[in-house]
Structure 1
Amino acid sequence: MAIRISTRTTVIRFTEIFTAKRNQTFSNQSSQSFSTNPIKPRFSQQSQYRKQISLATLLQRYGFPSSLLHNFLSKNHFLLNSNIQELEKSLVILLSFKIPQNSLVSLICDCPGVLDFQFLKKWEMGFSNFVLLSSSPLMIKSVLEQSKRFQIDPDSFFNSVDVLRGLGFIDGTVSKVIEGFPGVILMNGKEIQRRLEFLAGIGIPRDGIDRVLRSFPGFIGFGVEDRLKPLLYEFKYFGFSVDVISREIIKEPRILSMELGEFSQCLEFLRTLKCRVPIKEKIFSEGEFRAGFEVKLRVDCLCRYGLIRREAFEVLWKEPRSIMYKVGEIERKIEFLIHRMKFNSRCLVEVPEYLGVNFEKQIIPRYNVIEYLRSKGGLGYEVGLKGLVKPSRLRFYNLYVKPYPDCAKMFGRFSGDVKAQSRHPVGLWKLFKPQRYPESKEDVKNTKLFMESLG
């Protein structure tokens, strides 16, 4: 009986000792888990934050805009693991290529892999041994971006340059082609030759081909069978001869950028356009072929600002005068409409007349008058785009300028300070005054008899 009690007591004591050790071990582990583990992420977060600050400071020092830094660093986390010293060396090499600041920022944002120091070191040595007359910094930018994306080494690039030279192009043309279409580096000589044979086949001379490649190097990227020949057949379908087509291509090589069916749509639009005769004569002043391409350029311009193609054609249909304005002038008007007047670009569908009026003489003066009256509280209602553009000059003057003398100088015309210049010298009317003849008694008598006969 005593043996059983002692054994049970021993087991109880052993269990208590084991439990105490286990609790002590658990308490040590828990104290370690709550004391040491959270410290590591905090230190790592601090180190990443410091690294981001260092990167931002470095990029700003070399001209990177501060407004783009946060978005750029958040998308390219691999830069946090890079060496700051090597990044600085990479930026120094990029600046040594004399790439314009805006183009350099665009290159880094679009292809951040070009900051690789070993990659740039290899290309720096390659360009130092490379002799190409008329090579531009923009060409170097295109080469760096293309070579990084497709893992092209300098030797392959130099071989492509030799291929272009072998086709008879001068260094200036080679530079323009690589700058505008760096994908030519990935093409072989036979593919390029086929594009050149297409141009020669429609009667474009050698100097004309050189002009096409300088002005629109992206032409080399189009397929002959699936793009260029069907486009040529489309031109011929509307009755244009090969001579007219080749002459227009030499004048404006971007004609080759038209999609299949696009020219047909533009030309049918012009042939059914209803407008005043002077406007139509101005549109077709350089021929029907060129007029169709001009319509295409304006449709593309409107589509870049958010309109669909159907809406763009609707705007041109309602306001044919906009076809007479240059594309740069249309872009200027739309930029002013969006950023200064705070209207949506889709307002052009409702008020297409905005594109047909003069920017300097009508849009700006009227906008200044309305903004001045709005700031002074002189408007009892909101003046929209329609109320700004559609009224005639005299009506707008009577509504918003005449009652407020302060607006006269802003508006200009019809104001008291502006004197209308006479079209003819003073007294010139006297030369055109009809000569008076003396009336005799017989003439008076005949006139009276004639009037009495009418009564």
Structure 2
Amino acid sequence: MAVRNIFIRSFFHYSSKSQSIPRFRNQASKSISGAPGRHCRNLIVIFQRYGFLPSEVPNYLSKIKFIHTQSSEEVERLGIHEISPAAIRNVVEISVRFGLTPGDVIEHVRALVVLGFSETTITRILDIVPTAILLREDRIRDTVEFLMGIGIQKIDIDRIFGLFPAIASFSVENRLKPLLDEFRVLGFSLNEIREEVVRNPKILGFENGELSHCLEMLRSLKCRQAIKANICRDGEIRAGYEVKLRVECLRRCGLTYRDAFTVLWKEPRAVLYETQDIEKKIEFLVGKMKLKVQCLVEVPEYLGVSFDKRIVPRWNVIEFLKMRDEVWLRNIVNLSRSRFYDMYVKAYPECEKMYGRFGVFRSRSRHPVGMWKLFKPPRFPMSGEDTRNIKSNMEYLS
């Protein structure tokens, strides 16, 4: 199907189906001159359905004058059918900001169709990267040819753009080729790169040199082999991407780039936790404990322990005892269960109830009572030869 004016078609797609249009008595409907009353009200309702504020509608309609001359019957037969409200809003805002005409938008979207992208992928691109309609066709074509050059099939290219639309705005010479060279310098073959890109296209979002920093940190970890093997269970590229996500999460929470890497290097178990869990722990640290996020550099183990099983129960005890200084943060994280129980919980019955099942610590024997008799080694009678050997050894020692 030929691609025509996307946002006009989608606006009237809903207006033709609406049976009743409510009357608006506001300044928005009065400030648009030259448009018929009913048609104007239809446009206001449609804009509001796509998330525009009532105060924004007059400004957009005054700048998109051609929309008043379009009939719903004409535009109903044209365009992409499956398009999200966010994509519609993005296209309108980009058109108003850069002065694009309907013909410009049609031409740019048609270029995406010619390159073989599906309607779902085009919608994703307009939703996530609306500035892609400003790019020349040859630039996006270069990106497609670059992916085909490393052996990716055309059907996978459409999927890559759908899962990671930001690649539409990447420059091949300044972004993608240097990233490919960096992969090869790190020792990855072309087959490994291709398989990982198809499996997780978001690895193409690495900045130049970022993957090297992530893998350098992973390869220099001094932790238990089981933790390192669990981090790299899906390969080093995927592990490097997981480190990238955690670094970005820590930076959003207030740490510097260097401190974020320091925290992950000291506590690699944090890489095994989801970013939502890390954000929840930091939110609890700053909001509930009233500590600064920079204390994670001194006590990075905080991110490597269970939130529900260790942090929250122990914090309840510490808060009850009113011990609010930075010393107890390390005690919350590093003390063993029995040590923490003996120091803070055992002497206070209220704390023991508060601590719940995490506080009742009793040393239990390995076997039930009375079973030790069954595991006691049997005694054998001493022979005469054994007695003579013992006496000879004792005489030698004397």
- 1:296 and 2:296 aligned: no
Return the letter of the residue paired with 2:375.
Answer: K
Q: In the alignment, which residue of structure 1 is the partner of 2:355? A: 411
Per-residue CA deviation, residues 232-265 of structure 1 (Å, 9 max, x unaligned), is 1111112211111111112221211111111222
Which secondary structure state, in structure 1, belongs to the residue aligned with residue 314 of structure 2? helix
Mapping of 1:423-434 within 5 angstroms?
A: 433=375
Per-residue CA deviation, residues 190-218 of structure 1 (Å, 9 max, x unaligned), is 22111100111111112321221111101
Which secondary structure state, in structure 1, belongs to the residue aligned with residue 287 of structure 2? helix
Which blocks of at least 5 consecutive residues in structure 2 are unaligned?
1-25, 32-39
Return the letter of the residue paired with 1:252.
Answer: N
Q: Which has the higher contact order (CA 8 A, sep 6+)?
A: 2
Counterpart Cα distance in 1 of 2:333 and 2:127: 43
Question: In structure 2, do the counterparts of structure 1 residues 445 and 118 end up closer, same or farther at CA, with 3 Å as the change threshold?
Answer: same
Q: In the alignment, which residue of structure 2 is the partner of 1:199? A: 147
Counterpart Cα distance in 2 of 1:433 and 1:443: 28
Alpha-carbon shift at residue 399 of structure 1 (Å):
2.5
Question: In structure 2, do the counterparts of structure 1 residues 174 and 438 end up closer, same or farther at CA, with 3 Å as the change threshold?
Answer: same
Counterpart contact for 1:108–1:115, Cα < 8 Å: no
- 1:439 and 2:381 aligned: yes
Question: In structure 2, do the counterparts of structure 1 residues 440 and 382 end up closer, same or farther at CA, with 3 Å as the change threshold?
Answer: closer
Question: In structure 2, do the counterparts of structure 1 residues 352 and 322 end up closer, same or farther at CA, with 3 Å as the change threshold?
Answer: same
Alpha-carbon shift at residue 158 of structure 1 (Å):
3.0
Counterpart Cα distance in 2 of 1:123 and 1:434: 94
- 1:278 and 2:230 aligned: no
Question: In structure 2, do the counterparts of structure 1 residues 271 and 83 end up closer, same or farther at CA, with 3 Å as the change threshold?
Answer: same
Q: In the alignment, which residue of structure 2 is the partner of 1:398? A: 342
Q: In the alignment, which residue of structure 2 is the partner of 1:208? A: 156
Counterpart contact for 2:151–2:194, Cα < 8 Å: yes
Alpha-carbon shift at residue 114 of structure 1 (Å):
7.8
TM-score of the aligned structures, taking structure 1 as reference length: 0.68
- 1:219 and 2:167 aligned: yes
Name which of 274, 282, 290 aligns with 1:342.
Answer: 290
Counterpart contact for 1:231–1:260, Cα < 8 Å: yes
Q: In the alignment, which residue of structure 2 is the partner of 1:92? A: 45
Counterpart contact for 1:302–1:312, Cα < 8 Å: yes
Counterpart contact for 2:44–2:57, Cα < 8 Å: no
Alpha-carbon shift at residue 385 of structure 1 (Å):
3.0
Counterpart contact for 2:318–2:324, Cα < 8 Å: no
Question: In structure 2, do the counterparts of structure 1 residues 332 and 407 end up closer, same or farther at CA, with 3 Å as the change threshold?
Answer: same
- 1:142 and 2:90 aligned: yes
The answer to which structure has the higher helix fraction is: 1
Counterpart Cα distance in 1 of 2:30 and 2:340: 64
Alpha-carbon shift at residue 219 of structure 1 (Å):
0.5
Counterpart contact for 2:116–2:158, Cα < 8 Å: no
Counterpart contact for 1:93–1:120, Cα < 8 Å: no
Return the letter of the residue paired with 2:205.
Answer: S
Name which of 269, 285, 290 aligns with 1:321.
Answer: 269
Q: In the alignment, which residue of structure 1 is the partner of 2:204? A: 256
Return the letter of the residue paired with 2:194.
Answer: S
Q: In the alignment, which residue of structure 2 is the partner of 1:385? A: 329
- 1:165 and 2:113 aligned: yes
Counterpart contact for 1:123–1:154, Cα < 8 Å: no
Q: What's the % identity of the aligned pairs? A: 42
Counterpart contact for 2:299–2:330, Cα < 8 Å: yes
Question: In structure 2, do the counterparts of structure 1 residues 370 and 119 end up closer, same or farther at CA, with 3 Å as the change threshold?
Answer: farther
Per-residue CA deviation, residues 30-56 of structure 1 (Å, 9 max, x unaligned), is xxxxxxxxxxxxxxxxxxxxxxxxxxx
Q: In the alignment, which residue of structure 2 is the partner of 1:4? A: none
Which secondary structure state, in structure 1, belongs to the residue aligned with residue 221 of structure 2? coil
Counterpart Cα distance in 1 of 2:257 and 2:198: 27
TM-score of the aligned structures, taking structure 2 as reference length: 0.77
Question: In structure 2, do the counterparts of structure 1 residues 91 and 437 end up closer, same or farther at CA, with 3 Å as the change threshold?
Answer: farther
